[in-house]
Amino acid sequence: MQAWVVDRPGPMESGPLRRVERDPPEPGPGQVRVRVRCCGVCRTDLHLAEGDLPPRRPQVTPGHEVVGLVEARGPGAERFAVGDRIGVPWLGRTDGVCRFCRRGAENLCLDPGFTGWDLDGGFADACLADERFAHRLPEGLTDEQAAPLLCAGIIGYRALRAADVPPGGRLGIYGFGGSGHLTAQVALAQGMRVHVLTRGARNQDLAQRLGVDSVGGPADPPPEPLDGAVLFAPAGGLVPVALRALDRGGTLAVAGIWLSAIPALDHATELFQERRLRSVTANTRQDAEEFLGLAGRLGVRATTVGYPMAQAQVALADLADGRFSGAAVLHA
């Protein structure tokens, strides 16, 4: 089979990925081998390819929004049948025994394995998954539609809850890519007023089409104070901007795994009045199950642009340059 690997992390122009020939991996106990049909392209894949995120294993295969069919089962793997369609997400495994796993915060596990970072992911013809961490996908969604839900959707959902917006409250979304456009749909369906602050005419147009309450540039003040906000753009410079846009007691949740430097904060205008700043780290399986169920019921639809698997580096470069709106999906 063919698989992309992170060969020499660096700018996309330098071609950091390489496509190699490998034997299909044999599933171990509790694992399944998934024949990849689609894999979404997440900003984390870009951070890994460009070296912002240090590789945790040399020659790892990126991709953690994997939609495919169970092709083989390892010893004891019984949750899915051969031929079932499943999704393989970012949270690939946990140790299950650390103090965080025991208190139900497995997203903070001390010894986790992330798909496409520690474990080979879906930029390949096949990959392995621990069946306990894979998900069934909403029916009625195509593979291309379902792929972006598996990280962009799930992490966005956790970030939305972290922003702690009350029913009918006012939400700000900073950065409107794969995750932002899915999160906005959940927030609107739950009755929030949604203000999108983003650069790029394509992203702004997509926000308008989804029916959000206002659209502005990233540095613009929203038309009303925010009860909560989510920062999806990997731009630390927007942290003080978004904090100033919060109402008293509001929360800013930083959704991404990587953020550029945050400037010094001014206590009086950016933190006082009990404004809160928090990060979001991975997700629990419960977040994933909740979101996937909601996405099916609420009719959350990803706006996608498809690429053949052979064009993985083109898709990443297009993501880096903001050449599409919504989410890119590779087709095996």
Q: How do 276-279 and 246-254 pair as beta strands?
A: parallel
How would you classify the pairing of strands 126-130 and 31-41? antiparallel
Contact assessment for residue 251 and residue 275, using Cβ atoms and an 8 Å cutoff: yes
Site track for Zn ion across 134-173, x = CB under 5 A:
-----------------x----------------------
Spatial CA neighbour of 247 closest among 274, 227, 222: 227
> What is the nearest approach in angstroms of Zn ion to the Cβ of residue 100?
5
Residue 109 contacts Zn ion per CB under 5 A: yes
* 304: contact with Zn ion by CB under 5 A: no
Select the span of 104-112, 180-188, 193-201, 272-280 touching Zn ion (CB under 5 A): 104-112
Rounded to a whole number of angstroms, the minimum distance from the CB of residue 94 to Zn ion is 5
Cα Dmax for the chain: 59
Of the two residues 241 and 253, which places its CB atom closer to Zn ion in the complex?
A: 253
319 binds Zn ion (CB under 5 A): no
Contact 74, 31 (CB under 8 A): yes
Number of residues that bind Zn ion (CB under 5 A): 8
Do the strands 246-254 and 126-130 form a parallel or antiparallel pair, or are they unpaired? unpaired
Nearer to Zn ion, 224 or 258 (CB): 258
Q: Which stretch binds Zn ion (CB under 5 A): 102-110, 192-200, 286-294, 320-328?
A: 102-110
Out of 42, 129, 212, 238, point to the residue binding Zn ion (CB under 5 A): 42
Out of 36, 101, 294, 316, the residue judged to bind Zn ion by CB under 5 A: 101
Helical spans, DSSP H, in the chain: 43-50, 99-102, 143-146, 152-162, 178-189, 201-209, 238-245, 285-298, 312-320
Q: Does 189 bind Zn ion (CB under 5 A)?
A: no
Task: Choose, by CB under 5 A, the member of 31, 44, 203, 304 that binds Zn ion.
Answer: 44
Q: Verify binding: residue 94, Zn ion, rule CB under 5 A.
A: yes
- E strand intervals along the chain: 2-6, 17-21, 31-41, 66-73, 85-88, 91-93, 113-114, 126-130, 135-136, 170-174, 193-197, 214-216, 226-231, 246-254, 276-279, 304-308, 327-331
Tokens of 195: 């203000």
Q: Residue 4 Cβ, how far from Zn ion at the closest point, in Å? A: 16
Q: How far is CA 193 from the centre of its chain?
A: 23
The piece of 79-87, 109-117, 123-131, 288-296 that touches Zn ion (CB under 5 A) is: 109-117
* Least spacing, CB of residue 48 vs Zn ion, in Å: 10
Q: Half-sphere exposure (CA, 13 Å, Cβ side) for 121?
A: 39
Q: Which of 1, 53, 98, 265 binds Zn ion (CB under 5 A)?
A: 98
Min CB(262)–Zn ion separation in Å: 21
> Within 10 Å of residue 321's Cβ, how many Cβ atoms?
9
Binding site for Zn ion (CB under 5 A): 42, 44, 94-95, 98, 101, 109, 151
